[in-house]
Amino acid sequence: RVTVDNTSDMTATLVKVDSANKYGTLLEVVQVLTDLKLTINRAYISSDGEWFMDVFHVVDEEGNKLYDGQVIDRIEQSLGAGSLSFRGTDRCVGVEAEAEAAQTVIELIGRDRPGLLSEVFAVLTNLKCNIAASEVWTHDGRMAALMYVTDAETGGGIEEPERLDTVK
């Protein structure tokens, strides 16, 4: 369900999206709004695991509320029932030990989706890895990340081939 509300906020149009929580939904909503050349000034994202309700405070290119009926119709059509694709995930994972830095570098490349980074960090934590640093990039539904991890017990890089395979 998509609602475009021009009365609740004096400075922005509220776009409210209620939907089943499927991978990639939040990103696709943001992409639709961005493709319409709208600026998201603020967003409230909430989910109970199965459902989400997101509220986006958006303005046009000049910083004004949305009054153009065609833009509002396009938002409702683009985000309405059955319009989001929930694309599959193409992915690539690389793991490389860097002994000189006493860290292991993990490179991830693939489709972005809400919660992906959180899940990756949870997996690494369960594998007894400390995340020393990370760099993440997203664009047009894709993501790339570099994570620098150490062994939680030794504090050094992960060098054993079997353990590197497990992390990968």
**86: in domain:** no
142: CATH: 3.30.70.260
**97: in domain:** no
Residue 143 has pLDDT above 60, yes or no: yes
Residue 100 has a pLDDT of 45
**99: in domain:** no
What's the Cα-to-Cα distance from 112 to each of 6, 27, 54, 116, 137, rounded to whole Å?
Answer: 31, 8, 18, 7, 10
Range of the domain at 157: 104-167
Domain count, the chain: 2
Could you give the CA distance from residue 126 to residue 140 in angstroms, rounded to a whole number?
30
State whether 75 and 122 are in the same domain: no
Residue 41 has a pLDDT of 87
State whether 109 and 67 are in the same domain: no
Higher-confidence residue of 2 and 83: namely 2
Could you give the CA distance from residue 156 to residue 158 in angstroms, rounded to a whole number?
7
Residue 83 has a pLDDT of 61
Residue 78 and residue 34 in contact, taking contact as beta carbons nearer than 8 Å: no
* Each residue's pLDDT tens digit, 77-103: 888 766 654 444 444 455 554 444 588
E strand or H helix at 116, and its extent?
Answer: helix 116-126
Residue 58 has pLDDT above 90, yes or no: yes
Last residue of a domain, one of 33, 63, 79: 79
Higher-confidence residue of 95 and 144: namely 144
Residue 129 and residue 167 in contact, taking contact as beta carbons nearer than 8 Å: yes
